[in-house]
Amino acid sequence: MDLNTFMLVLFMSGVFVGVLIGGIASILMVRSDLARQAKRITVHPASVKLVTTFIAAVVIVSVLAPVLPTFAQTPIAIDIPTDVIFTEANNWIETFAPIAAIGIGISIAIAVLGYLGSVVVKAFRG
């Protein structure tokens, strides 16, 4: 398995987990929202079950459809070049760490300025 195929399988696995978590969260949110609305208006219990079942079916289809082909058996041994993966990951970290640090530094500076501003305002008020 070359690096591109490995990254595709890794990406599809991430999509699988993301859609699964999102689907579970949406089912829970819809159920709780419909339960809150049931106190205000009359919601038939069958409609809650129908909506939940529909969301579950959509989640199952969207999770299984793209991931199933990636689990096909191959007659060759799979060789994962971990040294290449870690080397590229280190290169990306070296490239983007300063960019992330700039964003973190700016957010900290804004927070400090906001705090100092509130201290100055309190000093003049008090």
User: Minimal CA–CA distance to 20: which of 76, 60, 80, 51?
Assistant: 60
Mean pLDDT of successive 10-residue segments in the chain (126 residues)?
Answer: 70 72 74 65 67 77 66 68 86 84 88 90 85
CB atoms within 10 A of CB 1: 14
Cα(18)–Cα(31) distance, rounded to whole angstroms?
Answer: 20
Length of the chain: 126
Domain boundaries, the chain: 1-76, 81-126
Predicted structure pTM score: 0.31
